Amino acid sequence: MSITVVEPAADYLLTTRERAKAELGITTTTDDDIISDMIVRASSAIERECRRKFGVETVTETLDGTGSRLLGLSRYPIVEVTEVTEDGTALESTEYSVEDADAGALYRANGWGRSGGLRMWGTEAYSSGYILPGYQDQRYSVTYRAGYLLPNQVNPWILPGTPENLPGAVEQACLETVKAWYSSRDVDPSVSSVQVGQLRVAYRERGTSETRDPLPAAALGYLRNYYQRPMG
């Protein structure tokens, strides 16, 4: 399976600076650059954690047939399918439909199957006429748009054929991350705890210089339903 990005996302930030400042209770502009940088890093960290892109992109995905009537695409929710080919031959748009946009599933009454035929075992076997009977997976190429409108692109009117807005849980995960990072920005990462009178305060491990700050537990909780689903 392979994916080629035809049109990359116009935005990938999972919240806005204004919303982050509101969550933090900040009304001044002194730390605007710091907060903006944290939003960039938090958005990237969440994409890595969930192993998926959230912004709308147009991609071409090539994958094998499933032997069933459903074909699972790796990007979702599906916004629009513009072309499907089977072993290089374009299918009519009436031959398939979006079964479940949120699951990235395409339906085809004839199935996304395997074709009976003869498999050639290398160029030498082909030239000598030595072939073996068998089955080979049909290869499908799907060009489609998938993903969400991100907070900077919010569309108050959701119409058929237009992307859905980013789920609030994903944005809240980004906000929780920014809040956690902002509140601990002045903490020395080499210090694991401090003693204040009879009270000892322990800090969560903040990660190495390579991993940067980890996502806080609150953010991970919001993301539990938004991890990339395994294909196949």
Both tokens assigned to 168: 């609030």
∠ CA(21), CA(194), CA(209), 5° rounding?
60
Paired with 145 in beta bridges are 58, 80
Three-class DSSP category at 226: coil
**Exposed (0-12), middle (13-18) or buried (19+): which is 185, by Cβ within 10 Å?**
exposed
Give 122-178 pLDDT, tens digit per residue. 444 444 444 445 445 568 999 999 999 999 987 666 666 678 999 999 999 999 999
Instruction: Examine the pLDDT at 16 and tell me if it is beyond 90.
Output: yes
pLDDT at residue 159, as a whole number: 62
pLDDT at residue 118, as a whole number: 42
Q: Estimate the crossing angle of helix 168-183 against helix 32-50, to 10 degrees.
A: 130
R_g (Cα) of the chain, nearest Å:
24
Amino acid found at 183 = S
pLDDT at residue 191, as a whole number: 52
CA–CA gap between residue 90 and residue 96 (Å, rounded) = 12
Instruction: Mean pLDDT check: name the lowest of 25-34, 78-87, 162-171, 201-210.
Output: 201-210
Count the helix, strand and coil residues of the chain and give each as a percent rounded to the nearest 5: 25, 35, 40
- Report which of residues 207 and 7 the model is more confident about: 7
pLDDT at residue 153, as a whole number: 86
Give 189-228 pLDDT, tens digit per residue. 555 555 545 555 455 554 433 345 689 999 999 999 999 9
Among the listed residues 51, 13, 52, the one whose alpha carbon sits nearest the alpha carbon of residue 35: 13
Long-range contacts for 31-35 (Cβ within 8 Å, ≥24 apart)?
Answer: 31/182, 34/182, 34/185, 35/178, 35/182
pLDDT class of 34 with cuts at 50, 70, 90:
very high
CA–CA gap between residue 103 and residue 230 (Å, rounded) = 11
Both tokens assigned to 89: 């031959």
pLDDT class of 28 with cuts at 50, 70, 90:
very high
pLDDT class of 121 with cuts at 50, 70, 90:
very low
